[in-house]
Amino acid sequence: MTKVLVITNKSDITSDFIIRNLKKENLKFYRFNTEELTHSLELTIDFTSDKYTIFDSNKNDLIDLTSFSSVYYRRPELPKISNVGLSDGELKFIQNELIFSLEGTYKLLRNAYWVSPLYSIREAENKIYQLHLAESLGFNIPKSIISNSSSDIRSFYKKNNQECIIKPIKSGLIDDGKQSKVVFTNKLKSLPSSDKKLKISPNFLQSEIKKKGDIRVIAVGSKIFSTFIDSQSGNSTKTDWRKGEMPLNHHRIELPKSLEEKCINLLRKLNLRYGAIDFILDKSDQFIFLEINPNGQWAWIENQTGYPISTEIVKLLKNENF
């Protein structure tokens, strides 16, 4: 019997879509909002009695973690820690204890069917490895360099006629605990005159590609849902469509079968059951691979296009179509 553990946070709308479909299918589930662990949730791993449980005080319910056949790993958040008389060092210590407790708990559930396996997600998040693998599978990729060598960066910039973009290697989130901001992909207008600024960290540069628009591919098992995003209709979204405040036009698009097969093959090589793959559609109608987000957003795509993405993910969680 299918029973699904949804690992996420209270504000995750994407998980709301999944839970709506789980209810529609009359499937048992529990939503594990991880940020509640130090408040309304109590985790117990008792090896003397093989007891792996969560007590949910809001529901007065004891959840047996070994009872789940499937896990939807979506978007967990770190538990909130009350700063009552604790030093910064003590808070950091407790935070690490929470992180490792959760990681260990997830590993105890590895016999369940994960969408997707946690350690596959972690490996697939590396953009350097993604590009290497995508190129080896026959995807077109932009000319790219990751380097903190000022001479190599300057040479690449010059060879590409000073038409380059710069992007984060990992997440673009900058958070100092008081405020946060997001670093998007940006057109590189110039390089700093100081070599020291280029050497302080690896820089991820790619040749700028003239676009018709952006493509987001949602891959669920062997199913492909492709959407054209009209990113070139607004000035703020031309380089990175996520930056705009105005809604962009989205419509369904059919990929060449050979490209769909490459997307499915990429998932399999990464041992993923889900992935959000971003492409550029260039002026000559070539599809240029940018990256794969192994846990990327899809709910707004379902809203915009009517694609049955949540239905297909629930099928996966029932282990029916992969």
> Residue 54: inside a domain, yes or no?
yes
> Residue 171: inside a domain, yes or no?
yes
In which residue are the tokens 């499915």 written?
Answer: 264
Q: Clarify whether residues 255 and 152 are in a common domain.
A: no
Model confidence over 78-132: pLDDT tens digits?
A: 888 876 788 889 888 999 999 999 999 999 999 999 999 999 999 999 999 999 9
Question: In the predicted model, what is the mean pLDDT of residues 184-190?
Answer: 88
Q: Clarify whether residues 14 and 80 are in a common domain.
A: yes
According to the model, what pLDDT value does residue 227 have?
97
Q: Clarify whether residues 263 and 293 are in a common domain.
A: yes
Q: Clarify whether residues 184 and 230 are in a common domain.
A: no
Q: Clarify whether residues 202 and 215 are in a common domain.
A: no
Its domain, for residue 158, covers: 143-207
> Residue 136: inside a domain, yes or no?
no
Q: Clarify whether residues 75 and 8 are in a common domain.
A: yes
Residue 254's pLDDT band (cuts 50, 70, 90): very high
Question: In the predicted model, what is the mean pLDDT of residues 30-50?
Answer: 94
Residue 183's pLDDT band (cuts 50, 70, 90): confident
Work out how many domains the chain is built from and give that number: 3
> Residue 220: inside a domain, yes or no?
yes
Residue 222's pLDDT band (cuts 50, 70, 90): very high
Task: Inform me whether the pLDDT recorded for 176 exceeds 70.
Answer: no
> Residue 322: inside a domain, yes or no?
no
> Residue 227: inside a domain, yes or no?
yes
According to the model, what pLDDT value does residue 151 have?
96
CATH number at residue 286: 3.30.470.20
Task: Inform me whether the pLDDT recorded for 241 exceeds 80.
Answer: no
Model confidence over 298-316: pLDDT tens digits?
A: 999 999 999 999 999 999 9
Mean per-residue pLDDT over the chain, rounded: 92
The total of other beta-carbon atoms located within 10 Å of residue 278's CB is 17
According to the model, what pLDDT value does residue 321 have?
46
Q: Is there a contact between 51 and 44 (Cβ–Cβ < 8 Å)?
A: yes
Q: How far apart are the first and last CA of the chain?
A: 18
Beta strands (DSSP E) in 221-285 are 223-229, 250-252, 274-282
According to the model, what pLDDT value does residue 223 have?
97
Question: In the predicted model, what is the mean pLDDT of residues 265-290?
Answer: 97
Residue of 222, 181, 186 whose CA lies nearest to 203 = 186
Q: Clarify whether residues 177 and 241 are in a common domain.
A: no
> Residue 69: inside a domain, yes or no?
yes
